[in-house]
Structure 1
């Protein structure tokens, strides 16, 4: 029997050279047991002349690497991408393909790009960080050591990137890094970030679950077995997303035009949106996350333990707040489960690299107030000099504008190369000065004087067990 190259590499612990790999020119070698990527036709929408490579590493993560025409490692920049989500289920190449197409702006700006699907679905931040760092090493083995490497995290992936920047920078932070040479990363870009970690970022979703159930009583239905709503969904449940959408529509009319809703549906919908501070079109997406992502966290990751709680929350905005607070299910977070979730997902705030965050002020998927929590965490860790936060007049979570991303990467590179720390005003000026190809007139929406309110102003505070964050001293 003939073994394929990837399996041979895994079994023998050797690096397999494949077509399209430039190992002779590389300053680095692939992680032990992993075949180098192979040349592949670029997906649609990628700039002409781009060289594309892909593969699957020995732990099961798919990836794409793309190199612009005329890119050279001695002068070039590599953007290593950590994607949002997270997706549930098995990894697919299609996940990384979609990321490459969405972030083709980096290629059009002249930067090489690499992105991983991650080895598994679900909320596993440190595992995703390992997958992304392993891809960086693979990329260097294939295309050479770039002049600069920017780590980019989007949405949930911003949390992955924030945790990476704490772990893969210097030998004293990552004892495994003992070889001399350039730092793995030079700067960090965090866009639309879920930056309060799993212990705080998901509070709005547990509030949505309990308030929705108090109003609608159909998730679960009365004839179905009751369960703590922090569980998300029992493992044996066969409920589908389409069926949940039907339940939400029956109660709230959320998939109907306002004129098609009954008076009772509209009243319940109005109550829910006021209490949890989510617009109508965000109710169903967040309800999905509060179902299947909560199931992934509580039932798979934490083995049936609940990290979500609403003790002490006083809900307001309904016609009868006293009745609502009496009727909502009250949940107490398991302190050990909360701590375990925090160890994996919560950024410590201990920034070691120039870090720029970019966040839309009207983002209803990841509230902009998450940035205030991150800012306070960074300040508490004594790293405020490494952080610049910039806000844009955007509602879209998944993508803002080419011009704003190109400006952000350019500002980070100047910060690293020239010591020119940016601010919102200088980034706005840079954006507006871009060539016409980036459409700066429509793409530059930076709000120079904006600062977000506290996270507690958006999501009501609650009693919770203190989560010990490694590396951060609490008063």
Structure 2
């Protein structure tokens, strides 16, 4: 993803530290959020500033939610406690979000529900933008590629989403589970592609604590699991191997049955995969469970793939140590962009461990770059509590270092 990162470094340098974002206490005043109509089964939420609305709207697409959870508005509080609707309104924008019409694998439904969300916005507006993390990052990217002629959105910010290859993402999760079963046999029920209801019901109380204890008790097996799966950890903190393992197994447990139901069959295929990085790769590959993907499922997976042809300004951001949706999605998406001669998309690498592990200031810098591409103007005001000038400098430095060591995909 060198060209996308170089474009980021150049964009930041050309903008200059003073013009990127001006921090100020003179923020707009957030208004009360209110529920809109239920659209195709999806709940809607709208928030319009009580004072200082700039006439523009930010639509938010949330990340993955387990199928059994109630329909609700998710991801509205950031990791540092920032309330997202309040933050967006303090910048002068209205905020809109949807529950989606269903939980689980809801990318295609989410695309339609976000379109419906903005179509039903209760006031006239000048511009609209779309953003979202994780599953919502894929929803955002697909919307950015499908805006030609629809004129719903003027810019998109995709965060930590599986935008490079949805099929490879599914295989990454499946590979991790079969490797876990090889190094820790008998811990989880035998099939990675059919999860018993008891495992879902007892995951938090029984399985997750037992697995965490086992990983700590068997460090050599844990090290081989991480090495063979290529799952990211923080090398400065070996304990993150436990977090990575539990996080990836969580998706296997809570997403597998629903994903198979939505795709019409099993999409995971490792028949020709040779796993390497263990103490004995030959023995590992002889004993690891093998599965073949359903042709119907693979045909349906194609509907979840990006094309690499955004029709509106698009910015993507990913932590380099994302253990759930790896940062290689950025490189794969860059290949798609370059294959279509698309050089305008900016990609931001954040050198940190953790899925969607961004600071609020980093999100603000990325959002500003997206707005700048869409309008030619930077954000006018940002609450002074966010040190965006220092964050901008750190992002520029990290982007330059990454571009210097990265190779063309």
List gaps (5 residues or longer) in structure 2: 1-26, 234-240
1:246 shift after superposition: 3.8
Match of 2:320 among 344, 351, 361: 361
Aligned to 1:200: 168
In structure 2, do the counterparts of structure 1 residues 125 and 413 end up closer, same or farther at CA, with 3 Å as the change threshold? Answer: same
The answer to which structure, 1 or 2, has the higher relative contact order (CA under 8 A, 6+ apart) is 2
The reply on whether 1:77 has 2:36 as its aligned counterpart is: no
Q: Deviations over 1:66-102 (max 9, x none)?
A: 1123244xx4321111111144235423537558934
Aligned to 2:141: 162
Aligned to 2:339: 380
Higher helix share goes to which structure?
2
Q: Deviations over 1:227-254 (max 9, x none)?
A: 4x3x2415xx322354477446546625
Q: Secondary structure at the match of 2:326?
A: coil
Report matched runs for 1:287-326 at 5 Å: 287-298=249-260, 300-303=261-264, 305-326=265-286
Aligned to 2:300: 340
1:318 shift after superposition: 1.5
Q: Secondary structure at the match of 2:45?
A: strand
CA contact (8 A) 1:373 1:454 kept: no
Q: Secondary structure at the match of 1:360?
A: strand
1:169 shift after superposition: 3.6
Q: What is the CA–CA distance in structure 2 between the aligned matches of 1:202 and 1:338, rounded to whole Å?
A: 11
1:351 shift after superposition: 1.1
Aligned to 1:22: none
Report matched runs for 1:30-429 at 5 Å: 49-72=30-53, 75-89=54-68, 91-95=70-74, 101-102=83-84, 104-139=86-121, 142-145=122-125, 147-170=126-149, 183-218=151-186, 220-221=188-189, 226-227=190-191, 229=192, 231-234=193-196, 237-240=197-200, 242-243=202-203, 246-247=206-207, 250=210, 253=213, 258=216, 261=217, 265-278=218-231, 279=233, 280=241, 281-298=243-260, 300-303=261-264, 305-343=265-303, 345-382=304-341, 384-418=342-376
Question: Bigger radius of gyration, 1 or 2?
Answer: 1
In structure 2, do the counterparts of structure 1 residues 49 and 188 end up closer, same or farther at CA, with 3 Å as the change threshold? Answer: closer
List gaps (5 residues or longer) in structure 1: 1-45, 171-176, 178-182, 421-426, 457-475
Q: What is the CA–CA distance in structure 2 between the aligned matches of 1:366 and 1:308, rounded to whole Å?
A: 16
Q: What is the CA–CA distance in structure 1 between the aligned matches of 2:387 and 2:95, rounded to whole Å?
A: 22
CA contact (8 A) 2:147 2:312 kept: no
Q: Secondary structure at the match of 2:324?
A: coil
CA contact (8 A) 2:362 2:391 kept: yes
In structure 2, do the counterparts of structure 1 residues 338 and 407 end up closer, same or farther at CA, with 3 Å as the change threshold? Answer: same
* TM-score (normalised: structure 2): 0.80
* TM-score (normalised: structure 1): 0.69
Report matched runs for 1:448-459 at 5 Å: 448-449=399-400, 450-451=402-403
CA RMSD in angstroms, aligned pairs only: 3.1
Q: Secondary structure at the match of 1:119?
A: coil
The reply on whether 1:439 has 2:387 as its aligned counterpart is: yes
Q: Deviations over 1:157-204 (max 9, x none)?
A: 11111112233441xxxxxx5xxxxx2111111112221343111222
Q: What is the CA–CA distance in structure 2 between the aligned matches of 1:60 and 1:217, rounded to whole Å?
A: 42
Q: What is the CA–CA distance in structure 1 between the aligned matches of 2:138 and 2:60, rounded to whole Å?
A: 12
CA contact (8 A) 1:361 1:394 kept: yes
Q: Secondary structure at the match of 2:95?
A: strand
In structure 2, do the counterparts of structure 1 residues 164 and 330 end up closer, same or farther at CA, with 3 Å as the change threshold? Answer: same
Q: Secondary structure at the match of 2:363?
A: helix
In structure 2, do the counterparts of structure 1 residues 244 and 417 end up closer, same or farther at CA, with 3 Å as the change threshold? Answer: closer
